[in-house]
Structure 1
């Protein structure tokens, strides 16, 4: 099985970085994988000490398979991540991406590399996610993965052939607003996507992920998600760039290491899981009404997504 290079993005949270890196190191495939750690620069004087502490922590592991890249200036999460992925793709044709608050399971790399190898030539599959929200999976569903119109940025991977479609051009909003077909595809993936894109375009959000989610949708792509999550996000303590204090997305990560994963015979989403995913992301009735109002009046409503 071909091992994808790993890209880990960190900033100023040493304890989060330690938990994520040590869990990653405990994966059997880690020692034979190339690992790039991208350290963003401090954005202000207050963050300088914690940024430096984080870098010293990473260097202390003295890992021969790790390349540490330290930015002198602050790029911000979105630019740092996109630049880092493009950097890795100069030498590789696939990638596994983690941020410093995404703690992987013991079989995270096995799961990711198996899926990346299994669907390497399937052009419709554009992303492999290691996290699945706590949705209801039908008891008679026999596989270890499911296909989704919506990807998760908490531990994910892709191929250069898919990432070549990535674009953060603001004009993408015009394409959506002038096409009922694209609007329907977007809403099928979650009513929260359009408001998030509007926030991004209006400078209220600094996200690469909203563009990747929409790029996948506009290219009729699918994401692979695990039935049992291989990632636990520990950033919902209020310390992250986009994650407020919230336990809604908590999951129990997989502890069972399976040598062989079971894949669906057809590359088609299960309608029951799609609905379950949609309902989870839509949230409460009041939140759904807000989303619908947002779409109808096409005005910015600043509420917590």
Structure 2
């Protein structure tokens, strides 16, 4: 099995980067993997010291098969990640992506490479996630992975064939709003995606991940998730550029080195798990109702008010 290259994106959090690198190195496959580390430049004078400390940490490791790419200017999260992925996929057919706050389990690389190899020729599968949302999996579900209509950007992988569909064209919003069938597909993956793309296209957010999720939906693609998470996200401590402190996404990670996995024979999402994912991302009944109203009457409801209520933990 040919191992996929790893792209690690870092900025100004040396402590987070240290935890992620230390755990990544523990993976048996790491020594035979190519690692690309993309370091974004400082956005403000206040960030310079932390950015420099992060880079010093990276250079303190004696890592083989590692390419470090340091940007003099600040690209921002979205541009940095998209350009980095494009750079790697010019040289390789697949990629594993980590950000500085996504701490992998020892078998994360094994899980990723297995799925990338197993589903390489299945064009329905467009994304493999290492993080598993804390949803309730049915007790009689016998497999180690499940299929979802929605992607996750917390430790993930894809192929060049799938990433070719990535587009951050803001006209994607008009396409969604002009088609009821596309809107239904979007809602099926999560009621929060429509407000997210509205926020993105209005310039109030800097996200590449919402575009990726929607691109997959537009192509009727599917995403793979582990039943037991291979990623522990430590960025919800309030230190991240786009994440406030939030324990809602805390998960129990896989503690065992899984050599063999049970895989569904048919590539079809389990309806019970789809519903559980839908409910998780929609949140409370009040939040679902608010999202529903925003979807139907977005011209009359202020998105900033919804965002404010979310940050205050009122929805």
TM-score, normalising length: structure 2: 0.96
Secondary structure, counterpart of 1:117 in structure 2:
helix
Q: How far is the alpha carbon of 1:290 from its aligned partner?
A: 1.2
Q: How far is the alpha carbon of 1:27 from its aligned partner?
A: 0.4
Structure 1 Cα separation of the partners of residues 79 and 61 of structure 2: 26
Q: How far is the alpha carbon of 1:75 from its aligned partner?
A: 0.0
Secondary structure, counterpart of 1:216 in structure 2:
helix
Q: Name 2:174's counterpart in structure 1.
A: 174
Equivalence map 1:256-267=2 (5 Å): 256-267=256-267
Is 1:152 matched with 2:156? no
Equivalence map 1:1-305=2 (5 Å): 1-299=1-299, 300-302=302-304, 303-304=306-307
Structure 1 Cα separation of the partners of residues 258 and 17 of structure 2: 27
Q: How far is the alpha carbon of 1:151 from its aligned partner?
A: 0.9
Structure 2 Cα separation of the partners of residues 141 and 295 of structure 1: 33
Q: How far is the alpha carbon of 1:135 from its aligned partner?
A: 0.3
Structure 2 Cα separation of the partners of residues 297 and 260 of structure 1: 49
CA RMSD of aligned residues (A): 0.7
Secondary structure, counterpart of 2:204 in structure 1:
coil
Q: How far is the alpha carbon of 1:268 from its aligned partner?
A: 0.3
Q: Could you list the runs of 5+ residues in structure 2 that have no partner in the other structure?
A: 311-315
1:12-52, Cα deviation, whole Å (9 max, x unpaired): 00000000001000000001000000000000100001000
Structure 2 Cα separation of the partners of residues 256 and 289 of structure 1: 40
Secondary structure, counterpart of 1:242 in structure 2:
coil
Structure 2 Cα separation of the partners of residues 152 and 217 of structure 1: 13
Structure 2 Cα separation of the partners of residues 51 and 160 of structure 1: 30
Q: Could you list the runs of 5+ residues in structure 1 that have no partner in the other structure?
A: none
Structure 1 Cα separation of the partners of residues 218 and 241 of structure 2: 26
Q: How far is the alpha carbon of 1:296 from its aligned partner?
A: 1.1
Structure 2 Cα separation of the partners of residues 241 and 110 of structure 1: 29
Structure 1 Cα separation of the partners of residues 55 and 62 of structure 2: 12
Q: Name 2:313's counterpart in structure 1.
A: none
Structure 2 Cα separation of the partners of residues 90 and 227 of structure 1: 32
> What stretches of structure 1 move > 2 A for 4+ residues in a row?
none
